[in-house]
Structures are given as structure tokens and as C-alpha cells.
Amino acid sequence: MKRITIEPVSRIEGHAKITIQLDDAGNVSDTRFQVTRVRGFEKFTEGRPFYEMPGITSRICGICPISHQLASSKACDAIMAVRIPKAAKLLREVVHCGQFVQSHALSFFYLSGPDLLLGMNADPETRNVAGLIEAKPELARAGIELRKFGLQVIESLAEERVHPSWIVPGGVKTPLQVVTRDHLLSGIPEAIETTMRALSLFKGKLDSFREEIENFGSAPTMYAGLVDRKGNLQLYDGELRFCDASGEVVQAGIPADDYAEFIGEATLTESYLKAPYYKPLGHPEGIYRVGPLGRINVSEACGTTLADAELQEFRQRFGRVPHSAFLYHYARLIEVLYALERMKVLLSEPEVLDTHVRATASVNAPEGVGIIEAPRGTLIHHYKVDENGAIVWVNLIVATGHNNYAIGKSVRQVTEHFVKGTHLEEGMLNRVSAVVRAYDPCLSCSTHALGAPAVSVSLLGPDGTLLDELRN
Amino acid sequence: MRKLRLATVWLDGCSGCHMSVLDLDAAIIPILRKVDIVYGPLVDAQEFPEDVDVTLVEGAVSSQADADNIQKIRQRTKTLVSLGDCAVTGNVAAMRNTVPVSKLLQRIYVEGSDSNKRLPGDGLPQLLKLARPAQDYVKVDYSVPGCPPQSKVISALLSGLVEGRKTETASKIKFG
């Protein structure tokens, strides 16, 4: 028996480790995907006033702090039992769209772009964002500008890019100014153009990734995500829906408060990241996936023109419910388009400029649940408080967590296909890391933790002797 | 001119400080002409290399693996920068310090689980009793607070280090 370790997995948002076990004939006998950090937000927030939760839980993740602030504030809205002003709801969704743009641009251009645009076998020394800037300066700059636009949406409303304190229980702190709205609207066309360019570049490369598309986590699973009343894509509000591997809706219209009837969490001995499952089927049969691919698989349509045209083409190419994790990249780009179009719709609503943007109340309910679609998938914050509003119990189910078990299975599939016996090549191990990157996991979020880089691989004999070693 | 060898590491933090580095936006392009990122979440290097000029450390030292890593990083780095409040003071990472580790793990993996209720641990780094700032373990050359530090402060620091001069950041910094 031989063992290969990839630790830490590079160009992902978090601390993870992959171990590959080979039998004597050099075939893969086992693989493990481990998340190696835990931070304990669910425990150490006990005793804090509930209204501090958006600020504290924002620090779970510096990439999608807005997601945590939104889910947290929605849980707090429920504890206060208020219906937030229309303008506040619109503005929360606007910054959420900004976040989708910046987070997805980070994944595509900074983290996975080097694999997709320079190649899986490119020199590991330059297979990174600096190498991409060197090789394709104009495209890289456009990607940087796209991420910047998403962040400017956040910054111009919330004043800061990372961990702002503008989203609050009951709404938002300050209203939108006309000049800000017009400035944001004027930036949307260029951002759309960059996204269309990235999409057409990516589609042009699909043929060269045929082997990855076939073998990157293509095992069928269920999917989950929020949808609106028509069953279309919804990021900020909506009802939770599960569909099976063929796309058949198995449970629709789940309100936030009822999530625990349908989602269970299993502890995995080898990982700090728990694995959620669809309760009616149990663990591990109830495996499901969330995030860009999960969302477009459960949704009937996006509901905006350009994104729907792309979605239609996507479905013509791969069918109504494709399973390959490689297609997360494709779905992510379609969602950027949706977020930009949706932002335009929201900013064009007359009520978006209303100055009443915050409802106030104290504790009116002993518990509250907030659910949103974060860039990486469904995010759930559930709090219980005492009569003074001090937190007594917290449960957080974070986007990447839902995909935990599926990522592990995808790693197994990619390893079996690409990693050959006793001779290691850097490119084949990069593919093992690349399938993890396809999910764009946010392991800082998921373990309420965070991480580091790199691939270190050694092939050990049954007695622990070093058979082969790979360094990049 | 030899390029500055820059490493970035990410211990117990949220990645927000790394995002603040990327928030230099296109201003990062001229910096990358003078800097090689030799290790960090953005590149594929596997082992923390020798002869690093500058390392930016985000996050607190929270697990045994962090404690081992920070020693190795210090030995191999000329100028060590604690980047952000968690690295400088412990900040949010240290909020767990009031709770015993066993109770924390029990709450998450046993009470907070519906299936296979037990503590994970197979091949995983052990949490230390306390999450603490980098300076409790090693000598730190620069402390840049902020949650996260503003990108203009990071930019000023990096530009100074590239030019080999001692940089004054105190007038620009803020906690929180």
C-alpha cells in the first residue's frame, strides 16, 4: 500500500489536505479530502447580544462577508419579528449582486483562471495570477476590473469593501443617493461586456477540456437552492427547493424556519467540516450539491435576458441537469451575468431611493432563521436568544459544507482517472486540486475556518519508504 | 534588479486581509513587476521556501500546525509582517479563548450533529488551548492592524519594502 498526500491544496479559499491511498498494483484504493481547521463561531458567540451577530459572523469569511451579514441580519429580522422596508430589501440585494460579481470573478480569474487559460499542465511556477497577468495582460486586467466593479458596488453603499457595518438587523444603515445609483448603473455595461468575453473564451476552450468534463465529479447527485415563486433563480430571498439527479423536484417551497426538517448534518471522523444531507434519505444517500451548478440545476430559468440565453445554450450543450463539477465554472459565469442584469433591475426600481431603510424593534421572537444563496451556495444562520436578546444557541450551515461529501467523491473520481500507479506527474496531481477548485470551496466559511496553499506529494511504500516524490 | 521574494500565509483568519491585498486592484500589476510571490494561497508552491524577503502573516496562531509553521516561517524570512488584527492581537480568532477546546468541539461535532456524533481528529491538527497573536511566538518586524488593514496601507508598506527602506505605517493605521 502506498500513500500520496497533497497538502495544502493550493489556490482555494481554505485549509485542506488530500490523501490518496494506492494498493500494491498501483491502483487507487482510497482517497480522503480533509478540512484541517475549526474556529468555533457556533460556541463562542453564546452570550453575545443578537444584534452583534452580523458584525461577528462577517469575520467567518473575508471573501463573502456580505453573505454572512445578510443571512445573519435576516435571522435577526426574524427575532425582532419585523418586515424590513422595501428600499432596504432592494439595497441588500444590490450589494449581494455586487458580491456575486466580485467573488465569482476572484474564482474565475485569480484562482482557477491559471488552470483554465494557461493549462492544467502549465509550469507550476507561473500557473498563478501573476503568470496570467504576464501571459494575457489585457484579459487579466479586465478580470481585475470586473472584480473591482463588484467591490465598488459594495463600497459605494456600505463604505468598506471587507467587513462593512452597513447591513443591520431591520434593514440597512443609510439610503442610496441618486448620484451613487447613476454611477453604478453606468458601470454595468462594461462589466457585462467583460463577462460575455470570459464566457465566449471559456466556451471556446470546452473541447480541450473534454476529459475533465467527463471525469471531474460527474457522479449524479441531488441539488438544492433557493428559487422564487416561478421557480427561477433567486439569491437573496425565496424558498428552498431540492431536486433529484434527474431534475425532478422532490421538495419545493421549504420556508426558512423548516430547514432542519430536511437538512441533517453528519460528522466525518477525518474532517473538521461536517457533511449535510437531505434528511428524508439519510447520510450518505441524501448527498446533494449547491452553488452555481446546483442553483441553475434546480431553477427553471434565471429570469434575465442575457443570462437566460446563455443558460439555454448551456442546456443545449449538456442537458437539463448536468453533473460534471467542471461545469461549475460555466455556471459561475452565467451567474455573474445574472447578477449584473439583476442589479440593473433593482437599481431601476423607484423605491430603491426611499430614505426609510431601517425598521427598529427589540426581541419579539425566541428564535430566527436567515437563509440566502451565498456565491458558493445556500447559507443558513439560525439563532436562539433569551428574553434580553442574548444568544443562547447558534447553528450555521455554510455553502461549502453542503458540497463537502460531493467534493470528497469528486476527488476520488478524478484520482482514479488521472493518477497512474507508481509514477507521479505534477499535472495529474494539479487536476486533483483543480476539481476541488471547480467547486470554489470556501473552507474558511465552512469550518468557520481558513487556509493556505500548495501541493506537496510523496508516494510511500507499505513500509513507509519513499518511492517517488514530486516537488514543484 | 533582483525581485523581492514575497510570501503570504494565512493562519486562523478569515482571508479578509488577503482580500485587502487584492483590493489594490490594477495597482497590483506594477508591484508584481518588482515582486515574486514565492508562497501563498494564490500560487502553487508547496513548501515554504528558504530566503524569503518579506512574509505577510494573516490570522492568529491557533493550532499546533500554526505554531510549528510560524517558527519555520520566521527562520526563513527576513522581514515578518503581522497583517491585520487577528495576527496582531488575536482579535476574532481569540474569541474562542473563553471556551475550553473540548467543550467547543463537543458543541459542534456531537451536540451539533445528527449523524455519526463524535469528535473528528483522524490526521487533523490539534487546536491549542488559546488562539494567540504571532508576536507571542516569534519576533515580528511590522504590525499592521485593521480588520482588514486598508489596501493603501498595505500598498505603502510593500512599496517601501520593495525599495528597501524602513516604512512608517503608524499614521495610516486603524484597528477594527
> Using one digit for the tens of pLDDT, what is the confidence trace for A198-251?
999 999 999 999 999 999 888 899 999 999 999 999 999 999 999 999 999 999
A93 and A211, same domain (yes or no): yes
Which among B31, B46, B91, B96 is the top mutation candidate for probing chain A, defined by the most A β-carbons within 10 Å of its own β-carbon?
B46
Number of independent structural domains in chain A = 2
Residue type, A203: K
Find the mean pLDDT for residues A110-114: 91
Query: Helix/strand/coil (H, E, C) string of chain A?
Result: CEEEEECCCCCCECCEEEEEEECCCCCEEEEEEEECCCCCHHHHCCCCEHHHHHHHHHCCCCCCHHHHHHHHHHHHHHHHCCCCCHHHHHHHHHHHHHHHHHHHHHHHHHHHHHHHHHCCCCCCCCCCHHHHHHHCHHHHHHHHHHHHHHHHHHHHHHCCCCCCCCEECCEECCCCCHHHHHHHHHHHHHHHHHHHHHHHHHHHHHHHHHHHHHHCCCCCCEEEEEECCCCCECCCCCEEEEECCCCCEEEEEECHHHHHHHEEEECCCCCCCCEEEEHHHCCCCCCEECCHHHHHHHCCCCCCHHHHHHHHHHHHHHCCCCCCCCHHHHHHHHHHHHHHHHHHHHHCCHHHHCCCCECCCCCCCCEEEEEEEECCEEEEEEEEECCCCEEEEEEEECHHHHHHHHHHHHHHHHHHHHCCCCCCCHHHHHHHHHHHHHCCCEHHHHCCCCCCCCCCEEEECCCCCEEEEECC
> Which residue of chain B comes nearest to A263, CA vs CA?
B114
CB contact (8 A) between residue A11 and residue B44: yes
CB contacts of A151 in chain B (<8 Å) are 23
Peptide bond into A54 cis (omega under 30): no
CB contacts of A40 in chain B (<8 Å) are 96, 99, 104, 107-108
Task: Answer with the one of A377, A401, A425 that is the final residue of a domain.
Answer: A401
In the block, residue with C-alpha cell 468575453: A197
CB contact (8 A) between residue A130 and residue B43: yes
ipTM above 0.95, yes or no: no
Q: What SS3 class is residue B80? A: strand
Task: Answer with the one of A345, A377, A401 that is the final residue of a domain.
Answer: A401
**What does the alpha-carbon distance between residue A401 and residue A30 come to, in Å, rounded to a whole number?**
21
CB contact (8 A) between residue A163 and residue B108: no
Tell me how close the Cα of B165 comes to any Cα of chain A, in angstroms.
24
Split at pLDDT 50, 70, 90, the class of A461 is: very low
A11 and A152, same domain (yes or no): no
CB contacts of A111 in chain B (<8 Å) are 42
Tell me how close the Cα of A65 comes to any Cα of chain B, in angstroms.
8
Split at pLDDT 50, 70, 90, the class of B122 is: low
CB contacts of B22 in chain A (<8 Å) are 106, 110, 147
Over 60: is that where the pLDDT of A439 sits? yes
CB contact (8 A) between residue A144 and residue B147: no
Task: Answer with the one of A382, A401, A420 that is the final residue of a domain.
Answer: A401
A135 or B110: which leads in pLDDT:
A135
Contact predicate A118/A126, CB 8 Å: yes
CB contact (8 A) between residue B29 and residue A141: yes
A452 closest CB neighbour out of B26, B41, B116: B41
Tell me how close the Cα of B38 comes to any Cα of chain A, in angstroms.
8
CB contact (8 A) between residue A444 and residue B14: yes
User: Can you say whether the dihedral through the CA atoms of A254, A258, A259, A260 is positive or negative?
Assistant: negative
Percent of chain B past pLDDT 90, that is, above it, reads 68
Strands B61-63 and B35-39: unpaired
Contact predicate A118/A132, CB 8 Å: yes
A6 and A98, same domain (yes or no): no
A20 and A102, same domain (yes or no): no
Over 70: is that where the pLDDT of A443 sits? no
Over 70: is that where the pLDDT of A449 sits? no
CB contacts of B127 in chain A (<8 Å) are 38
A452 closest CB neighbour out of B10, B93, B109: B10
Split at pLDDT 50, 70, 90, the class of B106 is: confident
Domain that includes residue A179, residue range: 41-401
CB contact (8 A) between residue B125 and residue A37: yes
Split at pLDDT 50, 70, 90, the class of B114 is: confident
A300 and A443, same domain (yes or no): no
Domain ranges of chain B: 4-95+131-172
Over 90: is that where the pLDDT of A310 sits? yes
pLDDT at position A286? 92
CB contacts of B9 in chain A (<8 Å) are 452
> Which residue of chain B comes nearest to A162, CA vs CA?
B16
Which among B14, B63, B118, B158 is the top mutation candidate for probing chain A, defined by the most A β-carbons within 10 Å of its own β-carbon?
B14
A421 and A371, same domain (yes or no): no
A46 and A97, same domain (yes or no): yes
Q: What is the model's pTM? A: 0.92
A396 and A268, same domain (yes or no): yes
> Which residue of chain B comes nearest to A132, CA vs CA?
B29
> Which residue of chain B comes nearest to A129, CA vs CA?
B42
CB contacts of A105 in chain B (<8 Å) are none
Find the mean pLDDT for residues B114-122: 75
Nearest to residue A449, comparing CAs of B104, B161, B15, B6?
Answer: B15
B92 closest CB neighbour out of A59, A133, A147: A59
**What does the alpha-carbon distance between residue B22 and residue B155 come to, in Å, rounded to a whole number?**
10
Find the mean pLDDT for residues B93-101: 93
Q: What is the pLDDT of residues A289-308, one digit of tens each?
A: 999 999 999 999 999 999 99
CA distances from A1 to A17, A420, A461, B124 (A): 19, 14, 6, 21
Q: How many residues does chain A have?
A: 472
A288 and A318, same domain (yes or no): yes
The hierarchical CATH code for the domain B4-95+131-172 is 3.40.50.700
A19 and A128, same domain (yes or no): no
A128 and A80, same domain (yes or no): yes
In the block, residue with C-alpha cell 519555520: B72
Find the mean pLDDT for residues B130-143: 96
pLDDT at position B172? 62
Over 80: is that where the pLDDT of A438 sits? yes
Which among A272, A287, A429, A458 is the top mutation candidate for probing chain B, defined by the most B β-carbons within 10 Å of its own β-carbon?
A272
A211 and A308, same domain (yes or no): yes
CB contact (8 A) between residue B120 and residue A269: yes
Tell me how close the Cα of A32 comes to any Cα of chain B, in angstroms.
11
